[in-house]
Structure 1
Amino acid sequence: MAIKPYRFEVSEARSVKHPTLPNIVKHTFLVPARLFPKDVPTGANLRDPVGMNRQVYKDVKASLEGKEALPGTFDLLNLGITIIAEDIEVIDKRIFDVMIDDDYGIANGGHTTQIIYDCQEDDSIAEGQHVEVKIITGLEGGENHTLRVDIARGQNTGISVQPRSIFELDGAFETLKAIVKDQDWAGDIGFKESDKKDIDVRELVSVLELMNITDFPVRDSKHPIAAYEKWSAPLKKFGDDYEDNRTDPSKRKYAAFEPLLLDALVLYDYIRRDFLRVYNETVGGRAGNLRIVEKAPPSKGRFQFRYAKLDDHDQRLTKGAAFPILGAFRNFVVVDPETGTAEWLGGFENVLASWRELAPELISETKQAIRDIGNAPDSLGKNRNHWANLFKTVRLHVMQQQLDTMG
């Protein structure tokens, strides 16, 4: 047994005595993530921080980096870290030495801790990010050994099976698999939470939702913002659609839009890849300095645009900024009344040509939205007015195409 001090610099701190076991004290620190101390022991954590490629942990990392959530909200979105310690020494009002036994330490939050360390190494933690650290002291003494073990065990029972794993087992993704089976990236899709893959099936379902003109008609004021805001929402709709039409899968609502999936993913790549060039050439400024543009971390290398087979790049438009633009192209989706299958107005080449024509205007509107509501991807991805403005721009373009055809 070795007890060592670990220096915690905090923004806020509070402590409360346990009402039943008065020797035990529960401390709560709000710690700037960039200052979380290195090498805190993890002896009390029953779950090693493995499987870091799982999407749930990629989402946590993106949140810490401010890519998929508002910077400064990490402690509100994450359950934090729980530590079993021997004692706490007050060094200053906001500086504490936490005395930790190597055999105990972190009881829960090992994955969060590893993500913080990785982002500290990459210097990629967004400004203002904090992590909530809960520290339990007063468990010293042989009579409390069982309680220490019970706390460690109880802190590691919170991960439940995610819906996508259930849907995969149930066969809900078979139609998607059939669509992508000939793509060279088909083997890179993770259909359940334990899959260590680069592409999450929820991304495919969310892109499909952006083209859903049944729930989001082009003449309506509703937009599929949940496709960005909450991946679980379109995933649940997709799974429920499968369950409701299990006896006749052809009647599934999403069956109508699945033939557009590969094209929509290609357009998604073009939007994310073209944004920097078009912004720099036509709007002015340097797109690479915007927070809605993400940089590939050194460990990743360069971003791939495998759907459209475009050249790799070390930067790309974030999902929060790209989804409202991609969703605006729902204006090109129509359903053939005879076949019940969705198709593109004028064909997909017309859609790509329209993107190239509209890109300067859509990117200019994005720049204005940044000025109005902020330079965070999450702000754009959740802003109803921004979605509506981009949608109207593409709508006017489609209407003008139709008038030109009639003329």
Structure 2
Amino acid sequence: MEYKKMAIKPYRFEVSEARSVKHPTLPNIVKHTFLVPARLFPKGVPTGANLRDPVGMNRQVYKDVKASLEGKEALPGTFDLLNLGITIIAEDIEVIDKRVFNVMIDDDYGIANGGHTTRIIYDCQEDDSIAEGQHVEVKIITGLEGGENHTLRVDIARGQNTGISVQPRSIFELDGAFDSLKEIVKDQDWANDIGFKESDKKDIDVRELVSVLELMNVTDFPVRESKHPIAAYEKWSTPLMKFGDDFKEHQKTGEPRKYAAFEPLLIDTLVLYDHIRREFLKVYNETVKGRAGNLRIVEKAPPSKGRYKFQYAKLDDHDQRLTKGAAYPILGAFRNFVSINPDTGCAEWVGGFENVLSSWRNLAPELVSETKQAINDIGNAPDSLGKNRNHWANLFKSVRLHVMQQQLDTMG
């Protein structure tokens, strides 16, 4: 069999750590492991050996990988511990320096596994959104040159392209942990738009429902204490695991679940969430006398998506909305209106949900102004607001004072 001439090019790898080992059975083959700063991963590495093209990047599992690389879904600096990394079939490696190598790669081979990870790294490099200290583990196999190893190259490529690990929400869905949520939302127009497992291609992620529910969790975050459910924004996996563990624990004992107490508030909370995201812009323009559309905490609908829908509250579509990072601290402040009925054990709104909506309209100028001040103090990035403890606390105090004043007015 005749093999075409290989087109081999060098790709510069700057690494933090490097090691190499000879294969114990095939001594000509060497396995190299590089720990590469993600921001320095070289551009244009061939993907000819990858049997899975990096498509379907809008799947939630790849969004999670991107969020992890950006430090939103895990601690910055741990990406290489959570990600399987990238495997490359190369021809040879040239040592330039202790931490600099030229990896010689044939255009028809290159990346055998990790094409999606590579694409995500390139996207984040372009956006300059890689969190500090993030590395990717790169495994490079050399010594496969020559026609006699062509079959082995193909076998390695095939073997490297195994399935993606199952995400926790898929397991929880199989266990029935989301059945109570399904029951609550079953009559909503958007009920069929919810994705309960990772393979569901739906507009609404069940983790958003769980995170919004966590914002009203007065059991773990009592209104009289200084703790706030920041993880609802900071790391979606935290409230999801808490929700799933709560289900499994009480499935064994038969006792009422903790989250069952808050689930009756879910739809109302989502309605309030829509109002905040939709109305913030108008209130900002009127209160601050600025242009909310110019803020980084306001996102614009991409042309491919059209206009944003506010299906929870049935509000008019809009081409802009407040980002989650800015909306969650505001929404979380309305936990002040949640109380547990001692007779039923279920959460209720203080004064009813119409009072909550009315209070949002009354409080909106103040909460928007506080958000503007936070932008001045800590920056105009959604992630900065979403993770800032002081910002959460300040908004919470404002709503707390409003609720206390309502209670005084009622007593008077």
Give the structure-1-normalised TM-score.
Answer: 0.83
Q: Does 1:100 align with 2:101?
A: no
Q: Does 1:379 align with 2:381?
A: no
Q: Which runs of 5+ in 1 are unaligned?
A: none
Partner of 2:303: 298
Q: Does 1:261 align with 2:257?
A: no
CA contact (8 A) 1:13 1:27 kept: no
* Cα pair distance change 1:13/1:285, threshold 3 Å: farther
Which residue, 160, 165, 189 being the options, matches 1:160?
165
Partner of 1:19: 21
Partner of 2:60: 55
1:106: how far off? 1.7
CA contact (8 A) 2:215 2:229 kept: yes
Give the structure-2-normalised TM-score.
Answer: 0.82
CA contact (8 A) 2:274 2:312 kept: yes
Tell me the SS of whatever aligns to 1:82.
strand
What are the residue-to-residue correspondences of 1:7-406 with 2, within 5 Å?
Answer: 12-13=14-15, 16=18, 18-20=20-22, 24=30, 26=32, 28=34, 30=37, 36-37=43-44, 41-61=46-66, 68=72, 81-87=86-92, 99-102=105-108, 104-115=109-120, 125-127=126-128, 129=130, 132=136, 134=138, 135-142=140-147, 144-145=149-150, 148-149=153-154, 151-152=156-157, 155-157=160-162, 159-246=164-251, 251-406=256-411
Q: Which runs of 5+ in 2 are unaligned?
A: none
Q: Partners of 2:217 and 2:197 in 1: how far apart?
A: 24
Tell me the SS of whatever aligns to 2:220.
coil
Q: Partners of 2:278 and 2:360 in 1: how far apart?
A: 12
* Cα pair distance change 1:2/1:357, threshold 3 Å: farther
1:75: how far off? 6.8
Give deviations 1:205-244, integer Å, cap 9, x for gaps: 1111111111111111111112122222211221122222
CA contact (8 A) 2:230 2:386 kept: yes
* Cα pair distance change 1:74/1:175, threshold 3 Å: same
Q: Partners of 2:274 and 2:77 in 1: how far apart?
A: 29
Tell me the SS of whatever aligns to 2:127.
coil
1:128: how far off? 5.5
* Cα pair distance change 1:360/1:62, threshold 3 Å: farther
Q: Partners of 2:16 and 2:40 in 1: how far apart?
A: 18
Q: Identity of counterpart residues, as a percentage?
A: 73
Q: Partners of 2:295 and 2:333 in 1: how far apart?
A: 22
1:30: how far off? 4.8
Give deviations 1:65-114, integer Å, cap 9, x for gaps: x69579x98977866543323357899x9997853242x22212222344
Q: Partners of 1:73 and 1:325 in 2: how far apart?
A: 29
User: For residue 338 of structure 2, what is the amino acid of its counterpart?
Assistant: V
Give deviations 1:34-62, integer Å, cap 9, x for gaps: 9833xx54332244435434212233456
Tell me the SS of whatever aligns to 1:205.
helix
Q: Partners of 2:311 and 2:43 in 1: how far apart?
A: 37
Say what the alpha-carbon RMSD is for the aligned residues.
3.6
CA contact (8 A) 1:2 1:101 kept: no
Q: Partners of 1:288 and 1:352 in 2: how far apart?
A: 24
